[in-house]
Amino acid sequence: MAHALVRFGLGRKGAEPAPADPTAWLREQIEAPDPIRFPSLPDSAACLTTLREERAMRRENPPAASTRVRDLLRAETSAQMQAAMATEAPFRERLVWFWGNHFAVSLRHGGVAAVAGAYVREAIRPHVTGRFADMLLAVMRHPAMLIYLDNVGSVGPDSPAGLRMGRGMNENLARECLELHTLGADGGFTQADVTSFARILTGWSIDLQGPEPGFLFRAGAHEPGAQTLLGHRFEEGEAGGRAALAFLATHPATYRYLAGKLATHFIADTPPADAVDRIASRLADTGGDLGAAALAVVAERAAWQPLTKLRTPLDFVVACARALDLREETMPDVHAVLGGLGEPLWMPPLPNGWPDRAADWAAPELLMRRIDWAHAVSGRAAGADPVQFADTTLGPLLRPETRAAMERAGSRRDAITLFLGSPEFQRR
């Protein structure tokens, strides 16, 4: 049971009761509706309106720069981190973070900050137990992705707008969608496919000016003519783009690539090939049902081999907060904390998102900082006996040598630092 909490969840929260049947507990989270709501956060249309107004203010009065987008981002990170720290459906939450990283956007690109939070809430979260094709379409139409991978200004050179203004395409989104979101780098596409897909996606843009800013298909910027992608013909127009995305979402190479990523995330850095095969088959048999795929991962015997994965800094921070029962507001500026630990929230360096293998997170200095931060939060542990606390959090996964080191520690704080810095807590 302790294993299910760390492998598929976010670590035990305080002394919450341990579910008796781990598989049933995981299944319920997939089958029940998402318990998390964000009633106070604005939708992406409102976020884009804020962005538009802030830009206008900046033009009129540059020195008195508004902080509204920054405030919006802070509210988003705070609410979404708090959800992870408090949720009673942590498996579902892990899937939200997993798919959000699969379809990574980054605050390193200007303009994304206003909609990064809305992106996760609108394009990722509603689909984590739904169909992959629906998630893909929601992502590709979302302003955050269209801004991040530069598709908003991609204009077909032979479209009316292209001919009038002498403008053209940008193939960034098309390439990364094929390589990172669907088929995978080994999915058998060529440069010609990238170019064709970029033509298909011309005109997939956003409207920032209207009363309801958001996705806009700019027919006048769309490259005329049918296109060939992986040997299949797609008609011109928005419908052709939708058809191409539906085709990519259900392609066997896509299922295989997604299965490999899921298995690497939940089973092991190098997952068994037959496990990947079975998860891919489940995706194929269900037409890309992501809830079914998640349960296929749970059904793998290898997924129950304990502590094969290293927690990323985000997992580690959330697991510490849950174990110590800290709330987001008691951890001021969690963004700076995650930045210091090497995984600033929604800010991966490149569109492939954060890496998912132990070696990628085992830079010596990075691990030293985990220890430093663990030491800082250990000072906030409440009155419980540290060894009891460790027993509650990890159960049978706690090793005798860690228990012995904790018993010998000179202070409650040192004992908890030793626990949070132990390999059994840093792994999951």
Q: Residues interacting with another protein, by CB under 8 A?
A: 108, 149-150, 153-155, 157, 162, 167-172, 175, 179-180, 185, 191, 194, 310, 336, 340, 342, 349-352, 358-360, 362-369, 371-373, 375-376, 401-402, 405, 409, 414, 417-418, 421-423, 426-427
**C-alpha span between 74 and 39 (Å, rounded):** 16
Nearer to another protein, 25 or 419 (CB): 419
* HEC secondary structure over the chain: CHHHHHHCCCCCCCCCCCCCCHHHHHHHHHHCCCCCCCCCCCCHHHHHHHHHHHHHHHHHCCCCCCCHHHHHHHHHHHHHHHHHHHCCCHHHHHHHHHHHHHCCCCCCCCCCCCCHHHHHHHHHHHHCCCEHHHHHHHHHHCHHHHHHCCCCCCCCCCCHHHHHHCCCCCCHHHHHHHHHHCCCCCCCCCHHHHHHHHHHCCCEEEECCCCCCEEEECHHHCCCCCEEECCEEECCCHHHHHHHHHHHHCCHHHHHHHHHHHHHHHCCCCCCHHHHHHHHHHHHHCCCEHHHHHHHHHCCHHHHCCCCCECCHHHHHHHHHHHCCCCHHHCCCHHHHHHHCCCCCCCCCCCCCCCCCHHHHCCHHHHHHHHHHHHHHHCCCCCCCHHHHHHHHHHHHCCHHHHHHHHHCCCHHHHHHHHHCCHHHHEC
Nearest CB to another protein, comparing residues 172 and 286: 172
- CB nearer to another protein: pick between 89 and 173: 173
Q: Least distance to another protein from the beta carbon of 168, Å?
A: 3
The CB-of-344 to another protein minimum distance in angstroms stands at: 10
Contact residues for 284 (Cβ-Cβ < 8 A; gap 6+): 252, 255
Minimum distance between the CB of residue 201 and another protein, rounded to whole angstroms? 12
Q: Which CB sits closer to another protein, 162 or 214?
A: 162
- Residue placing its CB nearer to another protein in the complex, 291 or 344: 344
Minimum separation from the CB atom of position 301 to another protein (A): 22
Q: Which is nearer to another protein, 157 or 272 (CB)?
A: 157
Q: In angstroms, give the least distance from the CB of 372 to another protein.
A: 4
CB of 303 to another protein, least distance (A): 19
For the bound state, the minimum distance from the C-beta of residue 338 to another protein, rounded and expressed in Å, comes to 11
230 alpha carbon, distance to own chain's centre: 28
Q: Which is nearer to another protein, 295 or 341 (CB)?
A: 341
Minimum CB distance to another protein, residue 373 (Å)? 5
CB of 340 to another protein, least distance (A): 4
Residue at token pair 């341990």: 18
The residue (of 269 and 289) whose beta carbon lies closer to another protein is 269
Q: In terms of CB distance, is 76 or 179 closer to another protein?
A: 179
